[in-house]
Chain A
Amino acid sequence: MGNASTDLRAENVSVSLGGRDILSHISLAFAPGRVTAILGPNGAGKSTLLTCLVGLRAPGHGRVTLEGSAILEMSARERARRIAYLPQTPEIAWGLDVRTFVRLGRTAHRGVFGESAADARAVDEALTSTGLSDFAARDIRTLSGGERARAHITRAFAGEPDWLVADEPLTGLDLGHQLDAADLLRRAAARGLGVVVSVHDLGFAVRAADRIVVMTEGQILSDGPPAEALTIEVLAKAYAVDARWVAGQSGALLDVIGRRGLS
């Protein structure tokens, strides 16, 4: 199904830390223009997989390729131009204004002489596309959690990457802001951006993702379109919960009944 010349691929990737296998022989191919959600309980290896995908961690075995070439052999700058990565619990050390903050997304494009006209245009476009233009002069640290999550996504867009890999970008957001963020990612994917996000919220995954990958203990448990990947058996295995699919107004809904064996 994949195409090696356009895909972001993990090929037989394994990582172990302190004798424990964090990832075991993961092979996945991600296609541009699609949103893939990585699901799984805490400690399943989602964050480790994402850091391998963006070239910030060298796997013990296997490799990651971007459009056919090994990601660890690309220069850091080249890699950063192609793939934007939003880490979990991102740090913001200084009180920058939102525009300056978003401009950090252009770091890998910077020439010797600082910001170019193309940089300024990309920043403006990113601010407009996420509706943050009115916040441009605000101190990033005075934004609410939802606005700040949007600022991080805006920063990623400003770099005009081909790929966005985000580690739980929605954690701590209320329902409305989750939907907003899901919408932003969907629209970016429609323009050709390849999106890989790890999430905890099953509802979000079902709603926003074209494809769901469920991981447990460093292995892939299931992989496919939401309704196929998130079967009752998979949920029971991954999270030890009982659940069922029910018919809802906007399509099938997942009804989580309770902890396995207690219901």
Chain B
Amino acid sequence: MKRASGIRLELGLLTLLAALSALSICAGRVWIPLTHLGGETDARWLIITALRLPRTLLGILVGAALGLSGASLQGYTRNPLADPGVLGVSAMAALGAVLTLFLNLGLGSPWILTAFAMGGAAVGVTLLILIAGPAGDAVSFLLAGVILSTIASAGVALALGLAPNPWASSEITTWLMGSLADRSIVDVQTAAPFIFLGGALLLTTGPALDALTLGETGARALGISLRRTQTTIAVGVGLACGAAVAVTGVIGFVGLIVPHAVRQFVGERPSRLLIPSALAGADLLLAADILVRATPHANEVHVSVAMAALGAPFFLGLLIAMRRKLA
């Protein structure tokens, strides 16, 4: 019964993704209906291949990475408030990326920056688990997240401020408020392999996340290795989330909102949330990006601002609901 509804949900999310992708290619400052395209000489063809296609692909990849990371982190920590953005993992990835600029490493090669971003994210997850303790409750995880994201954000500002860089303040914004605008196919090529690899790792944690429903002792008694699970989560989130942040900057709340929405359809079993959360994350980020582009304004709003506008009230609602449950 649950499995059938899971497959139905996945098909629905895929259909929605196809529709949103088409819309994302058509929509923007100029509306380009796909049916009215001329040959390759059409100038509008360039807009699509050089700008909108990479942007759409990146929206799908990054949204999926964030949704899947959120679902795995929530499963691992048994904390419905976990999200790479909220808990400072993405900010740690940004700090890693910015360090390469500060240290003048590998300018011109996106690989070194991406590697540092992924390293930052993996260190972020590990620190989070270490600070909150092995059996951390919701409050300790949130506090650990606040500490991590404060330090990482300050580190980003500091590194960019100290770097010999006249555009420091705009760079800070670029990293801490992520966006999908003006990305190229190179960005897609840089991020995609790591997002796929990280995603594949996270998908293998399903049985361990299910077993962790019984707590750490319960899971160990079922033969689950906590250390292996923790390493897989740290490396998986590090790769997926780090690669995402390396090309878009920090985009929060996708990983927070998406698993909650998915639970309404397939129940709370952690392994059942992983694939739908990746799909729904792609849907959500793509939809938000289309909305951002459609806003009639001289300067485009960053998609992370739109996500925050959506995510912060959602987060508040969750907190209130949790308090009611505890009271």
Contacts and interface: CB of A to CB of B under 8 A. Distances in A.
B162 to A, nearest CB: 43
B210 interface: yes
B270 A94 contact: yes
Rank and list the top 4 A-B pairs by shortest CB-CB distance, nearest first: A80-B223, A91-B215, A93-B78, A94-B268
Interface stretch (A29-37, A96-104, A185-193, A220-228): A96-104
A62 interface: no
Interface stretch (A81-89, A120-128, A245-253, A254-262): A81-89
Contacts of A93: 78, 212-215
Nearest to A106: B222
* Candidate in B210, B218, B225, B267 with the most chain A CB atoms within 10 angstroms: B218
A56 B213 contact: no
B295 interface: no
Contacts of A101: 213
Nearest to A56: B220
B215 A107 contact: no
Given A91-B218, A107-B207, A107-B211, A96 B225 contact: no
Given A93-B78, A93-B212, A94-B213, A107 B268 contact: no
A91 B223 contact: no
Given A94-B269, A94-B270, A96-B268, A107 B222 contact: yes
A80 B207 CA distance: 14
B222 A92 contact: no
Contacts of B211: 104, 107
Given A76-B224, A80-B223, A87-B218, A107 B212 contact: no
B2 A100 contact: yes
Chain B interface size band reads: 20 to 34
B261 interface: no
B217 interface: yes
Interface of B: 1-2, 78, 207, 210-215, 217-218, 220-225, 267-270
Contacts of B215: 87, 90-91, 93
A78 B270 CA distance: 24
A79 B221 CA distance: 8
A89 B218 CA distance: 10
A77 B223 contact: yes
A107 B220 contact: no
Contacts of A143: none
Nearest to B78: A93
25 contacts: A54-B221, A76-B223, A76-B225, A77-B223, A80-B221, A87-B215, A87-B217, A91-B78, A92-B214, A93-B78, A93-B212, A93-B213, A94-B268, A94-B269, A96-B268, A97-B2, A97-B267, A100-B2, A100-B267, A104-B211, A104-B213, A104-B214, A107-B222, A107-B223, A108-B223
Interface string A25-60: 000000000000000000000000001001010000
Nearest to A165: B221
A177 interface: no
Interface of A: 51, 54, 56, 75-81, 84-87, 90-97, 100-101, 104-105, 107-108, 110, 137, 159
Contact of B222 (A75, A80, A97): A80
Q: Point out which of B211, B217, B267 has the most chain A C-beta atoms below 10 A from its C-beta.
A: B217
Nearest to B211: A107
Contacts of A51: 217
B103 to A, nearest CB: 41
Given A76-B223, A97-B267, A108-B223, A90 B218 contact: yes
Contacts of A97: 2, 267
A56 B214 contact: no
A24 to B, nearest CB: 24
A159 B2 CA distance: 22
A138 B200 CA distance: 32
A137 B267 CA distance: 12
A93 B78 CA distance: 6
Contacts of A86: 221
B141 to A, nearest CB: 13
A87 B221 CA distance: 9
Contacts of B267: 95-97, 100
B207 A95 contact: no
Contacts of B221: 54, 56, 80, 84-87
A105 to B, nearest CB: 8
